[in-house]
Amino acid sequence: MPEIFHPESGSPAQPSTRPGQGHFVADVRETPLAVVDSVNETEAPSSLWGDAWRDLRVRPLFWISATLILLVVVVALFPSLFTTVDPKFCELRNSLGSPQSGHPFGFDRQGCDVYSRVIYGAQASVTVGLLTTVGVVLLGGTIGALAGFYGKWWDTILSRVTDIFFAIPLVLAAIVVGQVFSNGKTVWNVVAVLAVFGWPQVARITRGAVISVKNNDFVTAAKALGASKLETLVRHVIPNAAAPIIVVATVSLGTFIVAEATLSFLGIGLPQSVLSWGHDIAAAQTSLRTNASVLFYPSAALAITVLSFIMMGDAVRDALDPKARKR
């Protein structure tokens, strides 16, 4: 802290009264101006993420969505805590039965308990949704950011590759990629397929956002201050371009889980032995006219999961937004 240097005496200023002075000049340290000059040495340095966290933890939206996500993850990891009924035990005489004690959601067309299938199905569905989204954001985000930021040849090549992958039909990719893992189909198959199919969209959005951000003054400032291009990209451009990426990612999570349903419906998704909401939603198609509740419960579970991620995405994006001012 700079000492107030008294030019004449060379010693720390004292509340001085000069001869003839009728008023009191206070030491700067004792005036509100001290706030301007003072630096809080004990507090940690501020950063984008630090600020964001501080913002997040007071938002109710964040806590609600975090709780929901936690609930969904716990259900996915420990299904046996929530139900003791075997989801694979199906007796036809219970087909499309209405709710009874021990079976709160009734039975599906095969006579399996809907509630326990929803609980056990969470693992595969949430895993597919989460892992695919993470994969797609990492892959597509990287490619899009590089294409948008570096421009020229990077942009040309990466964007054209994106165009090619955009046009690959999901079904074709699913069957061919499924072939690669012919020794056994697992969740990773489906994640790989959906990631191959889904990254171009994120890449395009990222590229667009990066292009519109990189012309901002603060980027020029960062470059002037000596940040390397990569540093500028990662530390300055991406957090500012994050908003649309987060929106697309959170909405896509939901569409990936539903896409898994489409793949199951076509027979190229998860194997029959793996329970997932997708399987149940696809199988419910034939019961639509007679008993729509078979569709309702897995769809509701999916909706709640998607909702929680969208809310979380909104909260994180709001917190990250450097342009936001507290109202």
Partner 1 sequence: MVRYIGRRLLQMIPVFFGATLLIYAMVFALPGDPIQALGGDRGLAPAVADQIREQYNLDKPFFVQYLLYLKGIVTLDFGNSFSGQPVMDIVKRAFPITFRLAMMAIVFEAVFGILFGLIAGLRKGKIFDATVLVVSLLVIAVPTFVIGFVVQFFFGVRLQWFPPTVGGNVSFESLLMPAVVLGAVSFAYVLRLTRTSVAENLSADYVRTATAKGLSRGRVVNVHVLRNSLIPVVTFLGADLGALMGGAIVTEGIFNVAGVGGTLYQAIIRGEPTTVVTFVTILVVVYIVGNLLVDLLYAVLDPRIRYA
Partner 2 sequence: MKIRKLSRITAIAAVGSLALAACSGGDSDGESSASDNVFTIAYNSDGGHQAWVDATANSIKNVLGIEVEGQPYATFAELRTDVGDRAMTGAFRTGWQADYPTLYNFLGPLYGTGAGSNDGDYSSDEFDSIIKQGLSAPSIDEANVFFDQAQEVLLADLPSIPLWYSNVTGGYSENVDNVEFGWNSVPLYYQVTKADGTAVLANGSEPENPLVPTNTNEVGGGRIIDMIFTGLVSYDAAGEARNELAESITSEDQQNWTIKIKPGTTFTNGEPVTAQSFVDAWNYGALLSNAQKSSYFFEEIAGFSYEEDSELTGLAVVDETTFTVALNQPNAAFPLQLGYSAYFPLPESAYADMDAFGTAPVGNGPYQVVEGSWQNNVSIELEPNEQYSGPREAQNSGVKFTFYESQDAAYNDLLANNLDILDAIPDSAFGTYEGELGERAVNQPAAIFQSFTIPQELEHFEGEEGVLRRQAISLAIDRQSITDTIFLGTRTPASDFTSPVIAGWSDSLAGSDVLQYDPERAKDLWEQANEINPW
Per CB under 8 A, which region of 29-37, 101-109, 123-131, 211-219 contacts partner 1?
Answer: 211-219
Nearer to partner 1, 187 or 281 (CB): 281
Q: Is 33 exposed, middle or buried (0-12, 13-18, 19+ CB in 10 A)?
A: exposed
Per CB under 8 A, which region of 47-55, 92-100, 119-127, 168-176 contacts partner 1?
Answer: 168-176
Under the binding rule (CB under 8 A), the answer on residue 172 touching partner 1 is yes
Phi then psi for residue 113, to 5 deg, are: -75, 120
CB of 281 to partner 1, least distance (A): 6
Cα–Cα distance measured from residue 243 to residue 246, given in angstroms and rounded to the nearest whole number: 5
For residue 307, give the amino acid letter.
L
Spell out the residues 6+ positions from residue 256 whose beta carbon is closer than 8 angstroms to its own.
128, 129, 132, 133, 136, 194, 198
Give me the 254-283 binding string for partner 2, x by CB under 8 A, dash otherwise. -----------xxxx-xxxxx--------x
Neighbours of 318 (CB within 10 A): 17
Q: Which of 260, 290, 238 is nearest to 130 (CA)?
A: 260
State both tokens at 100.
Answer: 């009874």
Q: Which does 236 bind (CB under 5 to 8 A by kind): partner 2, partner 1, none?
A: none
Q: Which does 130 bind (CB under 5 to 8 A by kind): partner 1, partner 2, none?
A: partner 2
Per CB under 8 A, which region of 6-14, 91-99, 116-124, 175-183 contacts partner 1?
Answer: 175-183
Cα–Cα distance measured from residue 197 to residue 191, given in angstroms and rounded to the nearest whole number: 10
Cα–Cα distance measured from residue 254 to residue 223, given in angstroms and rounded to the nearest whole number: 38
Q: Which does 307 bind (CB under 5 to 8 A by kind): partner 1, partner 2, none?
A: partner 1
Under the binding rule (CB under 8 A), the answer on residue 134 touching partner 1 is no
User: Which residues are at the interface with partner 1 (CB under 8 A)?
Assistant: 156, 159-161, 163-164, 166-173, 175-176, 179, 200-201, 204-205, 207-209, 211-212, 215-216, 243-244, 247-248, 251, 254-255, 258, 261-262, 281-282, 285, 288, 295, 299-300, 302-303, 306-307, 310, 314, 317, 321, 323-325
